[in-house]
Chains A and B, each alone.
Chain A
Amino acid sequence: MAEYVAHSHDEHKDADGHGPSFYIKIWAILLVLFAISVIGPEFGHRTVTLITAFGIALVKAYMVAVNFMHIKHERKYIPYIMFAMLGMVFLFYIAVSTDVQATSGTNWENAAAKAIIEENKDFEHHLEH
């Protein structure tokens, strides 16, 4: 199973051709990304927050899945199954958000939700303090 590739370092590598130093490198990159995702939102700019917090979360997730979980070395259908499960989650979001996330639609409105939003409309004012 384990096919060791000849190399010049004295460090031994695992089945995927990685040694401890590789994993430490990935971990270091993850920490840098993590630092960016914390600092980014401090600017208070909505787009920057979205990109740094959620965009970087996606990058981190990709790095963990590929380098730590070795999903690339599994049979091809394993990532497909995982994506199908994620697809279920987004399907749920797409169909349900029109009812739950919206406060009004064709011939209906969610009066209770609108009242709550109205009640808290000056929240940004509080946020600054």
Chain B
Amino acid sequence: MATTHAEHHDHHDHHEMSFWEKYIFPLDHKVIGMQYLFTGILMGVLGAFFSYVFRMQNAFPGIEVPLFGLVTSAQYNSLITNHGTIMIFWFAMPILVAAFGNYLIPLMIGADDMVFPKINRLSYQIFLLSVVVLIGSFFVHNGGFGGAWTAYPPLSAKAEYNLTPWGSILWLVAVVLEFVAFLLGGINFITTLMNSRAKGMKMMDIPIVCWMIVLASILFMASAGPLIAGAAMLLFDQTIGTGFFDPARGGDPILWQHLFWFFGHPEVYVVFLPAMGIVAEVITTFSRKKLFAYKVVLFTTFATGILSFFVWAHHQFIAGIDPRLANIFTVTTLLISIPIAEMLFVYIATLWGGSIELTSAMLFALGFLATFLVGGVTGIFLGASGADIYFHDTYFVLAHFHYTFVPIAVIAVFAGLYYWFPKMFGRFMDETLGKIHFWGTMVGFNGIFMPLFFTGAAGDHRRIFDFSNFPELAVSSLQHLRMVATISVIITILFQFVFFWNFIYSMFRGRKCTENNPWKANTLEWVAACPPPHGNFLVMPEVYRGPYEYSVPGRELDYWPQNEKV
């Protein structure tokens, strides 16, 4: 630490910033990260409420849903559509990529801020605008868009089919605004990581989570382009009646599916990689062991990123795509499970022989590995084009991708929040409540989606308002499974109140974090104060080693911070 350094902070002590400057129009990356975090959590609450409403209708058709009322079929469509859209674009992305990215990248690479603070602020403001537009779309004539989050034309393109003349337009505009926000944010993340690392931090000294968030931003940038162009085309189809996706006029609805999934599948990895990064930080800290194979994780991430561009058409196996393509995409889809499995093995090997400390953060990280595995394994069934013909659009698919998305966007996020909470707010969360929350979430989550594998395999089709119209599916054995799933949704949601109480109470009244590095971790964010001031570090740190030097033989302490010279 005792090094002289040319970079000193002399600018931010000059004046106390007003509340307005500090929290409403901030330039500080930490505050912008918090804005993304809280907006994301609020949208997540909304998405979870939607899932509660339509699950109630699904398990108990025609019931007067408490806190909502009777669900009409149009509302049901709108609820499932917006549940999917919100959970991916307004919950998973803002929290995993934008909130953690903004908060962690400058701290972990030893910088005082993002390279372009004003563009960063603009990114959040555009994102907030997209939230306003999306929520506004629920209140226009005929309600929100109900054509599924994939928005296939002609359903999405023509108001006479979707019956939501304004809802569908506003939905599309909101998605495009959200994309613009994340492109701006992504350019900031990439440039910051490339150009602003602390002195001495080489490529292989960057914490895995920073790598993952930046690679996710690159994947997003490379895949979102065609869909942005496609969204403009769809918007013109909706508003002025062009025929880009109308076969009678020479257009092609399959083209939209390709445009959408060319983005949509890499998008899965855009949220998966940051989650994997968070888990890497948590398990190395709490098993006091070096990450088993840093370079292997990094290179498998590159492989995953590249392969993720060659798998998208597995969403369209029965859409009428060319069968020759289906063969190729089956192979690539099965191939991509190899790097993912490799990463899971590396993480398990990291745990092997470590002195594992089962904190709430660690429990969630382990829970991520276990549940994501189920999601990955069931993906093999769906990646094979033959099996997919049967499974396509059933609850089996739904259970599969919730077994990937819930570990990513919920369980890994909780691991990250419990882990970095002392850094963010300078206080600890309650560990007992954290463990209650963990077991409630895990049991509840498995209770929701395990039964849905079975209903899906039995033939339950997705996006069905009321199964009583299908005699062979309206049997009591299947209905009971649906009820189990719905009751599990309610249990899971109730256990989140434990988290919210813990989170808000700890923020103001929790046990104070008296030292900078409560978990005895190595990465640079733990050098800064808890919580870090504007500008992060009093003296800009220098880096002397990799981020995972735990339990180094011959060293008295079992950790070795990156910035300590000896």
Contact = CB atoms under 8 A, between A and B. Distances in A.
Interface residues of B, number: 21
A116 B243 CA distance: 13
B223 interface: yes
A53 B343 CA distance: 48
A96 interface: yes
A98 B325 contact: yes
Interface residues on A, range: 20 to 34
Q: What DSSP secondary structure best describes chain A's contact surface?
A: helix
B322 A100 contact: no
B225 to A, nearest CB: 7
Contacts of B262: 92, 96
A26 to B, nearest CB: 29
A102 B322 contact: yes
B250 A100 contact: no
A98 B322 contact: yes
B504 interface: no
Contact of B222 (A88, A96, A105, A106): A88
Contacts of A127: none
Given A99-B322, A106-B323, A84 B222 contact: yes
Contacts of B325: 95, 98-99
A100 B222 contact: no
Nearest to B250: A116
Contacts of B223: 88
Contacts of B324: 98, 105-106
Nearest to A106: B323
Interface of A: 84-85, 88-89, 91-92, 95-96, 98-100, 102, 105-108, 110, 112-113, 116
Interface of B: 222-223, 225-226, 247-248, 250, 252, 254-255, 258, 262, 309-310, 313, 320-325
21 contacts: A84-B222, A88-B222, A88-B225, A91-B309, A91-B310, A95-B258, A95-B313, A95-B325, A98-B321, A98-B325, A99-B254, A99-B321, A99-B325, A100-B258, A105-B323, A106-B323, A107-B323, A108-B322, A112-B247, A112-B248, A116-B250
- Which 4 A-B residue pairs are closest in the complex by CB-CB distance? A112-B247, A98-B322, A96-B258, A105-B322
